[in-house]
Structure 1
Amino acid sequence: MDIYSEEITINSEGFSEITNITEKVASVSDHSKFGEGLVHIFPIGSTASISTIEFEPALVQDMKDKLEEFASRDQTTRHGETWGDDNGFSHMRATMMGPGITVPLHNGGLVLGTWQQIVIFNHDNHRRDRRIFVQVIGKE
């Protein structure tokens, strides 16, 4: 088994903006030249999450609405009061969703369902560049 690592960056609006990164992750996987293995996708930072979703507008909005119900951007948090950055909700959303995921690699391709895409949620309260670390463990 060998390891190949690469960092990708995307720019995102914030407030749990969901961005499809499937092609970028597949590109990293292709660069590894591995046929079989595991691809781990991890956001660098404590206010983002990686997951999979059927990336279509109605479901994307449903997810954003549900996250707003769970941890509203308007709620007062001790974190916000302590640091003055008003992004306590961002940390709660990211923690509850979890940071990263692992996707199987088989016959040189990501094992994903027909309508399943890899996405990053930028939960923070502002636009920012999101760094994502992709590590492929595998063999040719």
Structure 2
Amino acid sequence: MWIQRQLRLSAVRRGFHLITQDIVGELPELAQVRVGILHVFIQHTSASLTINENADPDVRVDFETAMNHAVPEDLAYIHTLEGPDDMPAHVKASMMGASVTIPVGDGRLQLGTWQGIYLCEHRDRGGSRNVVITLNGKSI
């Protein structure tokens, strides 16, 4: 089985946002997969995806703090046409990555107990974001 869909995520504020349920909600066929892989790819260069803790919201705040420390906005960037948060957003997106791949088994994502899929919004006003979700697997 191969399924591919494009999901448009609503604009969110800068930061790290759990989107696991948005992804699962787009794939009712997931329940029929005995074994497979889900690939999630973001079609943007100033936002990224990652997997991390899904329980404590403080983790999301700390992620934003750490990324802002690692990639400050006040460096002497050359690419500044789209605002002071744009080039740092590109750097953060490259560091974090444009996709995640999750094993699927017995009709569900095989994420760990405390894992979730994050949309990492690196712009102050990034707008809506598109992700392509591709499910490949063997039906139950």
Task: Give the TM bin, normalised by the shorter chain.
Answer: 0.7 to 0.9
Q: CA RMSD in A?
A: 1.7
The one-character-per-residue Cα deviations of 1:45-69 (angstroms, maximum 9, x if unpaired) are 1111111111322111110000000
Structure 2: tracts of 5 or more residues without a match? none
Q: CA shift at 1:11, angstroms?
A: 2.2
Write the letter of the residue equivalent to 1:21. I
Which residue matches 1:39?
A: 38
The one-character-per-residue Cα deviations of 1:78-104 (angstroms, maximum 9, x if unpaired) are 111xx3433100000000111101000
Tell which deviates more after alignment, 102-111 or 66-75: 66-75
Q: 1:26 to 1:84 in 2, by over 3 A?
A: closer
Q: Secondary structure at the match of 1:35?
A: strand
Which residue matches 2:65?
A: 65
Q: CA shift at 1:24, angstroms?
A: 1.7
Q: Is the 8 A contact 1:41 1:102 kept in 2?
A: yes
Q: Is the 8 A contact 1:122 1:130 kept in 2?
A: no
Q: Is the 8 A contact 1:11 1:127 kept in 2?
A: no
In the TM superposition, structure 1's runs of 4+ consecutive aligned residues that sit over 2 Å from their partners are: 11-15, 27-35, 73-76, 83-86
Which residue matches 2:112?
A: 113
What is the TM-score of this pair, normalised by structure 1?
0.87
Q: Is the 8 A contact 1:18 1:121 kept in 2?
A: yes
Q: 1:95 to 1:127 in 2, by over 3 A?
A: closer
Percent identity (aligned): 23
Write the letter of the residue equivalent to 2:98. P
Which residue matches 2:127?
A: 128
Which residue matches 2:74?
A: 74
Q: CA shift at 1:125, angstroms?
A: 3.2
Write the letter of the residue equivalent to 2:40. I
Q: Is the 8 A contact 1:4 1:135 kept in 2?
A: yes
Structure 1: tracts of 5 or more residues without a match? none
Q: For this pair of structures, how many residues does the alignment match?
A: 136
Q: Secondary structure at the match of 1:12?
A: coil
Write the letter of the residue equivalent to 1:91. H
Write the letter of the residue equivalent to 2:64. K
